Structure 1
Amino acid sequence: MLAIIGGTGLYQLPGLNVIDKIKIDTPFGQPSAPIVKAECLGHTLLFLPRHGEQHQLMPHEINYRANIFALKQLGARQLLGVSATGSLRESIHPGAFILPTQYLDLIRGNRDKTFFGQGVVAHVSTAMPVCPNLTAWVAAQAKQQGMTLHQDKVYACVDGPRLGTKAESHFLRMVGCDVVGMTNVPEVFLAREAQLCYATLCIATDYDCWQDDPAQHVTVAEVIARYGQSLEQAKALLTALLATPLPPIDETYRRALDQAILTPDSAITNTQRRWLNVLMQ
């Protein structure tokens, strides 16, 4: 099953029929909002608004572990995110779409970045955090739709909630980042630990603040306006994607824990085993 994390506006797709709105608790707390289960063009889907139903959660307030765990527990095996980002490259114009394949984790705040610890030790490889089958699926349909889509880009994730300084923006450019956002970490890495095939579709809302022209520097009003404009294109792309079969499951991502858990089975408690079994599914 495919899960989609993004704003509530993504649910307004032609032919979408809501089956249920599921309020769920997890061993890691409650997700951002009740999870919408729906049918669309022959697919059963899960939708979750990352920032809550009323966009009431700041990036550092999102319970990323509960979000990923709840989607996995409800049957998700593939996960597509939709996110707003700032562009760090002249060629990535505001309004463009991006498929990152690499991440630079610059989160310094107190976000829970792993399901493991407290007696269960695991080290999951994140060398290739994004599923190539999902990105190829999105890219092929974007091409058919005539959309501008930048692939194989690097996403820098910062704490927020403030917007960055010009020096920070130039630093990110210098170290090879292409877009900057506040929400994909630890989401992408938790998806890896949960053995989910993950990709995210980013919308460039602005040029961040690295350009010399102050008129090009980001404001919240511009972010919201441009994201809203691009959301209609994103919904059209999702509708086109759902008119096709889901991409094949990449077993590399579905077996990420095979060699990652170091704690012997005999040392794992029944409580730990219950949540670990969900991740292992």
Structure 2
Amino acid sequence: MEAQLGVLGGSGLYRMADLEDVEEVRITTPFGEPSDTITIGTLQGLRIAFLPRHGRAHQHSPSRVPARANFWALKALGVRWVVSVSAVGSLREEVRPLDFVIPDQVVDRTVRRPRSFFDEEGPVVHVPLDEPFCPELRAALVQAAIAAGPRVHERGTYLCIEGPQFSTKAESHLYRSWEMDIIGMTAMPEVRLAREAELCFAILALVTDYDVWHTAEEPVSVSVVLERLHQNVEAAQRTLRELIPRLEQLPGTCACSSALQNAIVTRPEAVPRDVRERYALLLGKYLPVES
């Protein structure tokens, strides 16, 4: 069972429409079970692995999403590209509810989530994150979103907070003073893990609200978020359908697939065989077990 495109569904997107030849798989990883069963199916000739980030019953809070297991599982299925669909709030007047944003930068304000596959053991790895999203996949996603019809912002900075609570007004105004554009709870550690797994990664951010800073708008709440998401889910599905033919046209010259090549600092002889075996999915081409 293999797939080329991985889709992480966020709040309101718990399944992929129009998939054919569907099968469901469970994958065990060194980091436990993924958020839920992974649905693999074919859409326009491309095999897609769909995983609801919070689980089908939305049982995982942002802080408890098993992100390492999710990305390990997608990598194990042969996925090359990953699109994360995420609900976000707007920190800018011009970024309106029901707009789409394809962020090009991210700021991490989370405090209690594993940030790396190599936190507890393994070699020391420092991947570059100056450009946190795959430039090729992000550009294709921008084109797909524009073709799908909603109002699209082609770039923006995503501020990721820990949650699960929404912001205070003071925090919201502070983030605006930092010139952040959108705010959410799931971009991190996904950005970090995608790079360590050498996967091309981009976010399709669905704007649901103005957080709590806007004096003329209702403050963000679960009911507001879900209502707006239900209005936007079909546009998100159309965007993913528009993306598929564009993936075949990508030049494949991005550095995502070799992110670890010059990032492993530990000397090879200092990485034990059992660690090499355990992390072979990620490290095998740089630290083979037999050496």
Residue in structure 1 matched with residue 25 of structure 2 by the alignment: 22
- Pick which of 83-92 and 240-249 moved more: 240-249
CA deviations over 1:21-80 (Å, ceiling 9, x no partner): 111111111110111111111001111100012111100011111111110011111111
SS in 2 for 1:104: strand
Q: CA deviation at 1:217?
A: 1.2
Q: Which secondary structure does the structure 2 equivalent of 1:4 belong to?
A: strand
CA distance in 2: counterparts of 1:122 and 1:36, whole angstroms: 31
Query: TM-score under structure 2 normalisation?
Result: 0.91
TM-score, normalization by structure 1: 0.94
Q: By how many angstroms is 1:179 displaced?
A: 0.3
**Of 219, 222, 231, which residue of structure 1 is paired with 2:221?**
219
State the Cα RMSD in Å.
Answer: 1.6
1:129-144 alignment, distance < 5 Å: 129-144=132-147
Aligned length: 278
Which SS does the other structure have where 1:86 is aligned? strand
Q: Please say if 1:90 is aligned against 2:96.
A: no
Which residue in the other structure is 1:80 paired with? 83
How far does residue 87 in structure 1 lie from its aligned partner after superposition? 0.4
Q: Which residue of 2 aligns with 1:158?
A: 161
Choose from 217, 235, 238 the match for 1:236. 238
Aligned mate of 2:17, from 13, 21, 26: 13
Q: Does 1:277 align with 2:280?
A: yes
Report matched runs for 1:254-273 at 5 Å. Answer: 254-273=257-276
CA contact (8 A) 1:10 1:235 kept: no
- The one-letter code sitting in structure 1 at the alignment partner of 2:227 is A
How big is the shift at 1:139?
1.4
Distance 2:95 2:254 in 1: 32
> Aligned pair in 2 of structure 1 residues 274, 249: CA closer, same or farther (>3 Å)?
farther
**Structure 1 CA distance for aligned equivalents of residues 23 and 98 of structure 2:** 33
Alignment deviations for residues 185-233 of structure 1 (CA, whole Å, 9 cap, x no partner): 00011100110010010000000001123x4311110101101110111
> Structure 2 matches for 1:154-233, cutoff 5 A?
154-213=157-216, 215-233=217-235
Give the 4+ runs in structure 1 shifted more than 3 A: 7-12, 243-246
3-state SS of 2:105 partner: strand
Query: Gaps (5+ residues) in structure 1?
Result: none
1:184 and 1:245 map into 2 onto residues whose CA distance is: 22
Q: Which runs of 5+ in 2 are unaligned?
A: 286-291
Shift of 1:245: 4.2
- Who is 2:288 aligned against? none
Q: What code does the residue aligned with 1:11 have?
A: R
State the Cα distance separating 1:119 from its structure 2 match. 4.1
C-alpha deviation, 1:10, in angstroms: 5.7
Q: Structure 1 residue 128 and structure 2 residue 126: aligned?
A: no
